[in-house]
Amino acid sequence: MADPPGAHRLSARLRRETHAAHDAAQGSGFLDALATGLLPWEAYADLTAQHWFLYEALELAARTMIDDPLARAFVFPELTRLPSLEADLRFMHGPRWPDRIAALPATTTYCTRLRYAANSHPIGFIAHHYTRYLGDLSGGQYLGRAIARSYGLNGEGHRFFVFDGIDAESLKSYYRQLLDTLPWSRYEQEEFIAEVLEAYRLNIAVLDDLRQRWT
């Protein structure tokens, strides 16, 4: 039987081939426990701290990759999360927040991979960029609302999840079009999907570390 129209597009292949990894990330338990308010407030503050370390590495890579002819199309300044994370951490810990946060071992491993894979090559950069920001614009939107409800947040403390002035659905569909126009060979596409799978594994490891600490 012939493949359905569009099945060969990179965005479609990507969704298909990362479906199981996404299910594993979604089912990690820690995020659900936060969404339903089962964990102490400090567990949510800890997730925010881990995000800070990850986005510092990712957004530094974005600054380096802005001159790359392929990667530059994926650098959307309006997605930048670091200022929102810092506002959330200030709200949670006060002005001395930098002294109050520490990276978990899995976060350090993730940051090391990010620095290696995303700073010098568009394949690695786009793979890590896609995994975080498309996730934030998808399940992250549901998660942000659920966390705000569970922990009684109203404006402050959950800015990370709020993308001011962005229509998430339009941005995601534009992003998928960009993926589909990348001039990559089959081999390069495979390398890209392998790095996205690696990014999922790294995210799951961070969530597992958090679950072990807080449950």
Q: Which residues bind ligand HEM (CB under 6 A)?
A: 14-15, 22, 25-26, 31, 130-132, 134-135, 138-139, 142-143, 172, 200, 203
Smaller CB distance to ligand HEM: residue 130 or 192?
130
H or E element at residue 22: helix 19-26
Q: How many Cβ atoms are within 10 Å of 192's Cβ, its own excluded? A: 22
Minimum gap (Å) between residue 199 Cβ and ligand HEM? 7
Smaller CB distance to ligand HEM: residue 93 or 172?
172
Smaller CB distance to ligand HEM: residue 97 or 113?
113
Distance CA 64, CA 54 (A): 16
Distance CA 51, CA 81 (A): 9
- Residue carrying the six token digits 């997730």: 47
Minimum gap (Å) between residue 68 Cβ and ligand HEM? 21
Q: Which residues of 66-105 are buried (b: 16+ CB within 10 A; e: fewer)?
A: eebebbebbbeeebbbeebbbbbbebbbeeebeeebebbe
Smaller CB distance to ligand HEM: residue 3 or 67?
3
Minimum gap (Å) between residue 94 Cβ and ligand HEM? 28
Minimum gap (Å) between residue 96 Cβ and ligand HEM? 29
